[in-house]
Amino acid sequence: MLNYFKEIFVGIKSLLIGMKVTAFYGTKKTITAHYPFEKIPITPNFRGHIDLVVTKKGYHKCISCGMCERACPSGCITIEAVKPEGAKKKKLTGYTLDFTKCSLCGNCVETCPTSAIKYSNDYYLVGTSRHDFHFDLLARAMKAAEEMGIEWTEPVEKPKEPTEPQAEGGESPAPAGA
Amino acid sequence: MQIQSPNILLIVVAAVVMVLYVFTNSAVLVWVERKVSAHIQRRPGPFEVGPFGLLQTAIDGLKLMAKQLIIPAKADKRIFMLAPVLSFVPPIAALLTVPFGKVVQVQNLDIGILFILSLAALNVLAILIAGWSSANKYSLFGAVRSVAQNIAYEIPLLLSLLTAVLWMGTLNLGELVDAQGGFWFVFTPFGFIAFVIYFVTGMAETNRAPFDLPEAESELTAGFHTEYSGMGFGLFFLGEYTNMILVSAIATSLFLGGYNLPFITLNGEGILWELIRVLIFLAKAYFLIFVMIWMRWTFPRVRFDQLLNLCWKVLIPFSLVNLAAAAIWIKAVGG
Amino acid sequence: MIQKPDPTQETLVLNMGPQHPSTHGVLRVVLHCDGEYVLDAEPVIGYGHRMHELIGEVRDHRGFYANVGRMDYGGALSFGHGHILAVERMLPDLEVPERAEYLRVITTELNRVASHLLWFGAFLLDLGAFTPILYSFDDREAILDLLEHVTGARLTFSYMRVGGVAADVDKDWCDGVIAFVKRMRERVPMYHKLVTGNIIFRKRVEDVGHITRDMALKYGCTGPVIRGSGIPYDVRRSEPYSIYPELDFEIPTSERCDCMGRYNVRWEEIEQSLRIIEQAITKLPEGPVMADKVPKVIKAKGEVYQAVEAARGSLGYYIACDGTTSPYRMKIRVPSYSNLSILKELTRGILLSDLVAVMGSFDLVIPEIDR
């Protein structure tokens, strides 16, 4: 019998304690951000989709070796490159990322021998069709250069230059195929 | 001012006014509920549509009205459509007898309490036929739960109201308020216990958390109104909020002295006094609703058998003893 | 197989799921009910099957790593930890720097706290309380902010690498972690006031879903489910890996065996994880976070089984390699699968509401069961 009353007393007390907690937080300031008007600052380390790095000279660093293409587990990256007649380096003509397949593992960035790709901070991604997420990274890099105020300048290749950037890519097991 | 013979025109006008009041009340209450729950959960709640988001419920109501009413193929169509109406109309009719002020009371019945209780009991019928006619197992579970719990919580509810009726010696709501005057019934120990019991069972009556067993979202998806869409669901929603105001209006009139301030009886004549009385009444009723909302957003849901246990093992004994004690006190001391 | 209802028995067959608010994803439970009493509960899984194991057999080890986080959205880092440890065991020459191992443990334990907070909120949602999940998400957001700063993602972290971790941390981050540990300790009493002591909550979980020691052992339950039945089994202690032997922490158990026992165990585990984080942060050695010589192409031979303690229990990777770049066979032993298998025996004759409470107390993550 005593237990019966004790349980009722303890029960009511516990309910009142719970109501006190919600009342306490009810009077405190809200902690949410009013999203479209307010944005939470994003950490610079955020791993978004990949982007080509724009150098100070206004060009990308990609040597079209194809390491990223092979490292990608989902096959999102397509590289198109041509080797002009008489030139030693290949020239990147297209770098497409199919972001619909990407799982943001970061293997491409880590295998790149010239650190030509980086993670973008772009997380407000929205599109009306999946084709909106087939990014042309070369075009994006040109646009980024424009925004940074750098003119997109293709380096003029000197045919007699002794240093060969592709030597770096020599560590890779197989040379890139265009 | 009591109306002895029923004035049909007055009742019709009052009913229309009451329907309007119920709609506005529900719209405001939904907004209040969303705001209170949001602030408890440290969110701002609706704030985009209108000032402080006040028009949010109006827009939501419009959306509900514009939605298609889907009737399941296997449903019993007539009963299916009747159920929302049945859950929405009786509380409005019951509200007609509530004394918001000395004059602002549509029809002062001598058996006001009985009238309200009998109409309130229809709510369960609405849930039962809604669940039964939906041809959905979850809805059926909700309906069955509602009926079973109804028997359990109606008894302590009636017993606690009976204590008040016994104390004041009348079933007439207006007279009940006047009998308390400034000395509210809740100030007496009997009144306090009866009030607590009434409030707990009243929350079960409105099917609100922690007693929202018939709709128990995480168990029965949406319980009895799983299959209702558009305004069918909207009417259940309106019914729930109208029931809330009804439950707190009864609590206010029977236990919290109606339109009287504590220890001050307001007997002034004239429109201004009447307005003050109505405001006081509404303030009390809405405070009780606020507490209901506050409790809903704090507690988990009780289990079905636990509600029955609570009712049969705690509330009924307490209310019976309370009633008996009140009766003895009245005989011995003389009320 | 799903039992056909016996026509001579007047039972109601209720399909709980695959779309149901409290099955936490696409789990379907076929219930045979007598009124509200559950006579038989048969979980039907596979709605979210994504062939992770098979993908693991066609991709190379690094390429598969991004997938493991997708199996368990609550505690992606411990799934990554297990996979990376398994791959590293096949490369005996590889020496993982100590700092990397510490960072793995710190992030994994932070992730474990986040996972338990997610479970706490979801469990209370199952029981019909809406507010606790938003309080627990407040704390969880703080963890995710920390983890996002170092890993770059908020849910599927992909932080660890064969031979180390992807990114190093700075002192500010370590201070942030210490501040979080302090904040979390201050918040815990609030949760206990709001929920643990609450009479309605206690009535809902006490003496519900009683798992005896034998049952827990028989079904291979792990994690808080077995520890809630009084068996102090924790992979971090029984098969020590990483730097856990150097850290001082306890394995909380409960003799209650019911939902309340599992609930208490998880809260105590949050405290133990905070202790581990504190110790690891203070002991965090200087140095590189990536091994010097990591083979570019992993061509391993042989088989390994590596178990780690995920937030939901023992998680094991069995990888058999035949010398090519991708495994010959990959088998992942996930905790939720074994924990779910007990449901049928456990829920015989209990109420529908209790079934929801029991499933909530298991902390099921359906993508992990389906894989």
Sign, CA torsion A63/A66/A72/A77:
positive
Helix (H), strand (E) counts: chain A: 4, 5
Cis peptide before B84 (omega within 30 of 0): no
CATH at residue A142: 3.30.70.3270
DSSP-based three-state secondary structure for C196: helix
Distances from the Cα of B23 to the Cα of B27, B32, B237, B281, C240, angstroms = 6, 14, 11, 19, 64
**Averaged pLDDT score across all residues of chain A:** 79
Residue C184 to residues A27, A89, B81, C155, C284, Cα–Cα distance (Å): 21, 56, 51, 20, 21
Of A87-101, A148-162, C111-125, the range with the highest mean pLDDT is: C111-125
DSSP string, B207-265: T-TTS-TTT-HHHHTTGGGTT--HHHHHHHHHHHHHHHHHHHHHHHHHTS-TTPBTTB-
Q: Distance of CA C14 to CAs B133, C25, C28, C48, C189, Å?
A: 17, 17, 10, 21, 39
pLDDT at A165 over 60: no
Beta strand C164-165 with C160-161 is antiparallel
Count, residues in chain C: 371
Burial C131-141 (b: 16+ CB within 10 A, else e): bbbbbbbbbbb
Q: A10 and A71 share a domain?
A: no
Q: What is the pLDDT of residue C6?
A: 60
Tokens of A173: 């097991």
A141 and A70 share a domain?
yes
Residue A43 has pLDDT above 70, yes or no: yes
Name the CA dihedral angle for C360, C43, B130, B297, rounded to a multiple of 10 degrees. 10
Mutate to test the interface with A, among B287, B290, B298, B299 (most CBs of A within 10 A): B298
Q: Spell out which residues of chain A touch residue B200, defining contact as CB-CB under 8 Å.
A: none
Asked if B83 and B226 touch (Cβ cutoff 8 Å), the reply is: no
Contact B277, B23 (CB under 8 A): no
Residue A14: inside a domain:
yes
Range of the domain at A11: 1-31
Total domains present in chain A: 2
From B219, B297, B304, residue closest to C131, measured CB to CB: B297
Q: Does B40 touch chain A (CB under 8 A)?
A: yes
- Other C-beta atoms closer than 10 Å to the C-beta of A126 total 6
Residue with tokens 């109309």: B89
Contact C134 B144 (CB under 8 A): no
**Nearest CA-CA partner of A108 in A100, A120, A99, A117:** A117
Report residue C206 as tokens: 């006490």
Task: Pick the residue of C130, C194, C326 with the most A CBs within 10 A to test the interface with A by mutation.
Answer: C194
Say what the pTM is. Answer: 0.86
Question: Does the CB of B21 have a partner CB in chain A at under 8 Å?
Answer: no
Structure tokens at A91: 């020239």
pLDDT of residue A134: 86
- Please judge whether C62 and A46 are an interchain contact, meaning their C-beta atoms are less than 8 angstroms apart: no
Chain B neighbors of C351, CB-CB under 8 A: 303-305
Render C251-317 in DSSP notation, one character per residue.
----S--SHHHHHHHHHHHHHHHHHHHHHHHHH---S-SB-S---SS---EEEEEEEEEETTEEEEE
What pLDDT score does C113 carry?
Answer: 92
Interhelix angle C98-126/C131-151, rounded to 10 degrees, is 160
Domains of chain C: 52-333 (1.10.645.10)
| Cβ–Cβ below 8 Å for C131 and B40 | yes
Tokens at C299, concatenated: 């061509």
pLDDT tens track of chain C, all 371 residues?
455 556 666 778 888 878 887 777 788 888 888 878 888 888 888 888 888 888 888 888 888 888 888 888 888 888 889 999 888 888 888 888 888 889 999 999 999 999 999 999 989 988 888 888 989 998 999 999 888 888 888 888 888 888 888 888 888 888 999 999 999 999 899 898 888 888 888 888 888 888 888 888 888 888 898 988 888 888 888 888 888 888 888 888 888 888 898 999 999 999 999 999 999 998 888 888 888 888 877 887 888 898 998 888 889 999 998 888 888 888 998 888 888 888 888 888 888 888 888 888 888 888 888 87
- Residue A154: burial class (beta carbons within 10 Å; 0-12, 13-18, 19+): exposed
Q: Which residues of C touch A25 (CB under 8 A)?
A: 135
On the question of pLDDT at A171 being above 70, the answer is: no
Cβ atoms within 10 Å of C271's Cβ, excluding its own: 15
Residues of chain C positioned with their CB less than 8 A from the CB of B212:
128
Bridge partners of residue A78, in order along the sequence: A96
**How close does chain A come to B209, measured CA to CA in Å?**
13
- Decide if A72 is inside a domain: yes
- Measured over the CA atoms of residue B84, residue B86, residue B92 and residue B94, the dihedral's sign is negative
DSSP string for B63-110: HHHHS-----TTS-HHHHHHHHHHHHHHHHHHHTT--SSSS--S---T
Structure tokens at C257: 């065996």
Q: Closest CB to B44: pick one of A25, A28, A30.
A: A30
Q: What is the pLDDT along chain B (335 residues), one digit of tens a residue?
A: 454 566 778 778 877 888 888 888 888 888 888 888 888 888 888 888 878 888 888 888 888 888 888 888 888 888 888 888 888 888 888 888 888 877 667 677 778 888 888 888 888 888 888 888 888 888 888 888 888 888 888 888 888 888 888 888 888 887 778 777 777 887 888 888 889 999 988 888 888 878 888 777 777 877 888 888 888 888 888 888 888 888 898 888 888 877 877 777 767 777 788 788 888 888 888 999 999 899 888 888 888 888 888 888 888 888 999 989 888 888 887 65
Question: Do A62 and A90 belong together in one domain?
Answer: yes
Q: Do C134 and B42 touch (CB under 8 A)?
A: yes
Q: Is the peptide bond before A36 cis (omega within 30 degrees of 0)?
A: no
| CB-based contact B219 C22, cutoff 8 Å | yes
Are A74 and A134 within one domain? yes
Q: Which residues pair with C314 in a beta bridge?
A: C309
Q: Is A17 on the interface with B (CB under 8 A)?
A: no
| Backbone angles phi and psi of B64, in degrees to 5 | -60, -40
CA dist., res. C147 & res. C155, Å (int): 9
**pLDDT score recorded for residue A178:** 39
Whether B299 sits inside 8 A of A23 (CB atoms) is: no
Contact C134 B217 (CB under 8 A): no
- Inter-chain touch A106–C166, beta carbons under 8 Å: yes
Q: How far apart are CA B106 and CA C203, in angstroms?
A: 44
Find chain A residues with C-beta within 8 A of B43's C-beta.
30, 32
Could you tell me which residues of chain A have a Cβ less than 8 Å from any Cβ in chain C? 7, 10-12, 14-15, 17-18, 20-22, 25, 31, 43, 45-47, 71-73, 103-107, 110-111, 119, 171-173
Whole-angstrom CA distances from B159 to A157, B152, B153, B312, B318 are: 97, 12, 10, 12, 10
Give the β-pairing of C28-34 and A91-98. unpaired
Contact between chains at B42 and A32 (C-beta distance less than 8 A): yes
Cross-chain residue pair C70–A103, CB shorter than 8 Å: yes
Q: What is the pLDDT of residue C117?
A: 92
HSE at residue C341, side-chain half, CA atoms within 13 A, is 14
